[in-house]
Chains A and B, each alone.
Chain A
């Protein structure tokens, strides 16, 4: 059964813009992205939206719905009362391009700053081997679809433009954690994560975890473990001494 949905959609570009009211006819079972597509097809042909898979897997359709960072293709209309107005804005942490489309290149710049995986030499038969339990640990982090909703919601950069240069953000703390926990990686990324990537600016308030559409436990499984690894390296004299005496945990420290 269809009904008329009231929507407020932000329209504009870097020179300015505003929330505009629309009424869109929608069907039961639809998602916010469907409603916006119908809006585009019937009333606002030049509405800019980024999307691709409509299945929550490409990470393109990130936006803010009633003020909450979410994927438009995974937000069902049935979550709202039919009489409720649904407000859709672009992500408010990144520079605006047009309508619902933002410039997310900050994230690609941060991705480039992470030193690449540096594996140990292969076994004599030319293969690298890992045990299943070690493979499983990193699987959670590999579910990331790079929607950047976590980056968008993180108050460190959302509320403080000037922190962007010093802060890689939760999505990339995942990457640091994944590499630091990788049994075949030869780099020690703990100092780097703390100093250059700004791990210590995160105050573990868990908003990244709250919005992640892949339900990755970013704070519990990546950020806090990385913070603990930094403690091993910098604030725990016993661990430091142990690593010197027993020559455990010898990895090459990367600075940048």
Chain B
């Protein structure tokens, strides 16, 4: 028996949607860009090579913690020594930013719409017969987003460190700046904007309170994070693209395809 908008109690209209605008653009673009990113990052993460071109370390591989890391890339030591040498160091660390984005409230919206078509657009019926939302396993795991936020916060600090040490030249002398420095700098700013505009961050800083008036400082933080939060989707896109571009630039340097443009 037909259900949903075609169900027996509803106004009898045989078209599932009467929308005439180009509602499919948003899911289509999302689908293409996200798929491209997944393909690119999978290739780069598994390759385990060409991620370090002194002084630049690719954000996909930072911090580089396993013994497989190339010399110079591990400013935080190599505590992970039990992994085989072929195991790409990116895989050790990438679960955190990846998990952060996968459970992000904005990305959830985007991929539920673009990949699961649930719904592809508003007032456009979804193709699924049953729907239980985020009530059951595995989607109930979305509730751990907050923990990924904590991890992502630490990683943002490390990426900031990477951007700072990119002001050294290839021999680690201070007072250098190249296009790579600029790219890492822009990337880390976008990563911070994305991380701080997170809904969990907004909740933790002050959203969970019942009385703003009793916590004036947290209220100020919350107001600030709320402002950023309004642009969360934009930051999600910008930082996704910037992180891939930063990695690709370093890939080009590491493979000697191009050489870094030096400003000073």
Query: Is B105 within 8 A of A102, CB to CB?
Result: no
B210 touches A183 (CB 8 A): yes
Binds A, one of B130-138, B156-164, B170-178: B130-138
B143 at the interface (CB under 8 A from A): yes
Q: Main secondary structure on chain A at its contact with chain B?
A: mixed
Q: How far is the CA of A163 from the CA of B118 in the complex (A)?
A: 15
Q: Are B207 and A134 in contact (CB under 8 A)?
A: no
User: Does A182 touch B at the CB level, under 8 Å?
Assistant: yes
Contact of B133 among A89, A200, A234, A249 (CB under 8 A): A200
In the complex, identify which listed stretch (B6-14, B60-68, B180-188, B249-257) lies at the interface while the others stay far away: B6-14
Closest to A200 in B: B135
Q: Are B131 and A156 in contact (CB under 8 A)?
A: yes
Q: Is A206 an interface residue (CB 8 A)?
A: yes
Q: CB-CB < 8 A to A249: which residues of B? A: 210
* A67 x B17 contact (CB < 8 A): yes
CA distance A23 to B118 in the complex (A): 37
Q: Determine the interface band of chain A, counting residues with CB < 8 A from chain B.
A: 35 or more
Q: Mark B10-41, 1 if CB is under 8 A from A, else 0.
A: 11110001111100000000000000000000
Residues of B near A162 (CB, < 8 A) are 3
Contacts of B144 in A (CB 8 A): 235
A183: chain B residues within 8 A (beta carbon) = 210-211, 213
Q: Are A95 and B10 in contact (CB under 8 A)?
A: yes
CB-nearest residue of chain A to B4: A159
Distance in Å from the Cβ of B144 to the closest Cβ of chain A? 7
Q: Tell me the minimal C-beta distance from B230 to chain A in angstroms.
A: 8
In chain B, residues 90-140, which have Cβ atoms closer than 8 Å to a Cβ of chain A?
105, 108-109, 112-113, 118-119, 122-123, 125-126, 128, 130-135, 139-140
Asked whether any CB of chain B lies closer than 8 Å to the CB of A204, the reply is: yes
> Is the Cβ of A155 less than 8 Å from the Cβ of B119?
yes
Which of B119, B140, B230 has the most chain A CB within a 10 Å cutoff?
B119
Task: Tell me which of B123, B128, B132 contacts A158 (CB under 8 A).
Answer: B123
Given contacts A87-B18, A206-B109, whether A137 and B131 have CB atoms under 8 Å apart is: no
A37 at the interface (CB under 8 A from B): no
Instruction: Judge whether B88 is part of the interface by a CB distance below 8 angstroms.
Output: no
Q: Is the CB of B146 within 8 A of A220?
A: no
| B residues in contact with A18, CB < 8 Å | 12
Q: How far is the CA of A180 from the CA of B105 in the complex (A)?
A: 21
Cβ 8 A contact of A161, one of B3, B119, B135, B200: B3
Bound together, the chains give a CA A203 to CA B136 distance in angstroms of: 12
The distance in angstroms between the C-alpha atoms of A163 and B132, with both chains bound, is 8
Chain A residue nearest to B11 in the complex (CB): A96
A82 interface residue per 8 A CB criterion:
no
* Residue interface bits A30-66, CB-to-B below 8 A is 1, else 0: 0000000000000000000000000000000000101
One of A132, A163, A185, A210 near B131 (C-beta < 8 A): A163
Task: Write 29 A-B pairs (CB below 8 A) sorted by A numbering.
Answer: A10-B13, A66-B18, A66-B19, A67-B20, A92-B5, A92-B13, A96-B11, A132-B213, A133-B213, A155-B118, A155-B119, A158-B5, A160-B4, A182-B210, A183-B210, A183-B211, A185-B210, A200-B133, A202-B134, A203-B112, A204-B109, A204-B112, A220-B230, A225-B202, A228-B199, A228-B200, A228-B203, A228-B208, A231-B145
8 closest Cβ pairs, A-B complex: A201-B133, A67-B18, A131-B213, A67-B19, A207-B122, A228-B203, A95-B9, A159-B4
Measured CB to CB, the residues of A under 8 A from B are 10, 12, 14, 16-19, 64, 66-69, 87, 89-90, 92-96, 102, 130-134, 137, 153, 155-156, 158-163, 180-183, 185, 198, 200-207, 210-211, 220, 224-225, 227-232, 234-236, 249
